[in-house]
Copies of this chain bind each other. A is one copy, B any other.
Amino acid sequence: MLQISTKGRYGVRLMIDLASRYGEGPVLLREIAGRQGISEKYLWNLVSPLKNAGLVVSFRGAHGGYSLAKPPSKINLGEIMRLLEGPLCLVGCVEKPSECGRSTMCITRDVWEEVSRRISKTLESITLAEMVRKHRTRETEVSMEGKQ
């Protein structure tokens, strides 16, 4: 279906949640789970690869939790998606030259790679900082509307 999975969707929301609390100390998975409506257990599956890749840091024990490892302006959606969804590639191009035996295939491959490049480029151009800023703007708009 060419749809991204919940891993990518939830993972981005998780990171935006963390980004909007950057500098305020560790955030509990439980809190994020509550705010985002995702089970704490499942969240761990998402935060784990992000931690291994060095995008977030964890603190164990009481008053522990997770924080971004760098400022939100230094993290883009491309790296998050790549960690959670795998290579942002519409076909298994990098790893399997075997698929490329057919000449017709090679022509179509050019197309898939072009599209893949554009997806990567688009996602890499968006940082968590921008997402947080947009989010706050929208929140303000919504609360203003409510008062009219």
Residues of A at the B interface (CB closer than 8 Å) are 1-5, 8-9, 12-13, 16-17, 35-37, 77, 81, 85-92, 102-108, 110-112, 114-115, 118-119, 122-123, 126, 131, 134-135, 138-139, 142
Contacts and interface: CB of A to CB of B under 8 A. Distances in A.
A86 B135 CA distance: 30
B104 A135 contact: yes
A32 to B, nearest CB: 10
B85 A2 contact: yes
Nearest to A37: B102
Q: Is the interface of A mostly helix, strand, loop or mixed?
A: helix
Nearest to A108: B12
A112 B5 CA distance: 12
Contact of A110 (B36, B87, B89, B134): B134
A131 B118 contact: no
A107 to B, nearest CB: 5
B3 A107 contact: no
Given A16-B107, A108-B13, A114-B122, A90 B2 contact: yes
